[in-house]
């Protein structure tokens, strides 16, 4: 009888231990499933939170690449006078600035109009001369209006302006010439360049002094 009771007790203990083991395993699996669900939820929340930021960054990038005015102020300035007027026009109109630089810059001796042998004198006396442009290539895509500035040399536009207008296509663009000088008017400069360009709608243009105000412009 004692042996039977002892055997029964051993079986009860074994049964209890087995039950505890099963519960522990179930709790462990439950905890693992809960942690996995939390990790997945966190990842989904992070993705949802960063999606607007990513979209905003992409939109900003697209805006940056297409953000330029439809007005261009292009100018050649040997002494800085025309540059000052061009900058004021750009400020008034909100236009982009582009400087037409000579590949071979003009020196003070080159600009000596009283010397018949100076570079400028020789260039202006020869309508076939085309000084090379040294500034970077320009795209006119998207521009509808161009203000084209230059100093008056011997009553006309400098020959480097002829190089410029022959280089680009002004189809669909309104070109407004402007010049700077001590007293000489713009003369035939606009019509000269219009004929050489062969495209675009060219207005007559106007002469300004280097001291012209933004209000007058």
Largest CA distance in the chain: 141
> What gap in Å lies between CA 203 and CA 19, rounded to an integer?
99
Instruction: Show contacts of 62-68: CB within 8 Å, 24+ apart.
Output: 68/96, 68/142
Q: Which residues of 208-217 are buried (b: 16+ CB within 10 A; e: fewer)?
A: bebebeeeee
Distances, alpha carbon 179 to alpha carbons 39, 75, 89, 123, 171, in Å: 70, 9, 12, 18, 22
* 3-state secondary structure at position 156: strand
With contact defined as beta carbons under 8 Å apart, do 73 and 96 qualify? yes
pLDDT digits (tens, 9 = 90+) for 99-152: 999 999 999 999 998 999 999 999 999 999 999 999 999 999 999 999 999 999
pLDDT along the chain (217 residues), means of 10: 45 46 45 43 45 44 58 97 97 97 97 95 97 97 98 96 98 98 92 98 95 91
Q: Which residue has the tokens 């949802």?
A: 48
> What gap in Å lies between CA 37 and CA 59, rounded to an integer?
34
- The two structure tokens encoding residue 184: 């000489």
Which CATH architecture does the domain made up of 71-208 adopt?
Answer: 3-Layer(aba) Sandwich (3.40)
pLDDT of 12: 52
């Amino acid at each position: 009888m004692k042996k039977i009771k002892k055997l029964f007790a051993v079986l009860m203990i074994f049964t209890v231990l087995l039950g505890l083991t099963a519960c522990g395993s179930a709790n462990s699996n439950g905890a693992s499933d809960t942690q996995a669900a939390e990790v997945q939820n966190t990842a989904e929340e992070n993705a949802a939170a960063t999606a607007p930021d990513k979209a905003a960054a992409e939109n900003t990038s697209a805006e940056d690449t297409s953000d330029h005015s439809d007005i261009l102020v292009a100018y050649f300035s040997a002494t800085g006078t025309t540059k000052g007027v061009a900058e004021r026009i750009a400020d008034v109109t909100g236009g982009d600035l582009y400087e037409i630089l000579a590949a071979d810059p003009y020196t003070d001796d080159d600009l000596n109009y009283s010397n018949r042998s100076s570079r400028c004198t020789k260039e202006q006396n020869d309508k076939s001369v085309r000084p090379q442009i040294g500034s970077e290539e320009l795209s006119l895509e998207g521009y509808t209006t161009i203000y084209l500035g230059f100093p008056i040399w011997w009553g006309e536009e400098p020959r480097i302006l002829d190089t410029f207008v022959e280089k680009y296509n002004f189809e669909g663009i309104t070109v407004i010439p402007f010049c700077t000088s001590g007293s000489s008017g713009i003369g035939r400069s606009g019509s000269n360049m219009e004929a050489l360009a062969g495209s675009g709608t060219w207005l007559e243009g106007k002469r300004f002094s280097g001291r012209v105000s933004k209000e007058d412009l």
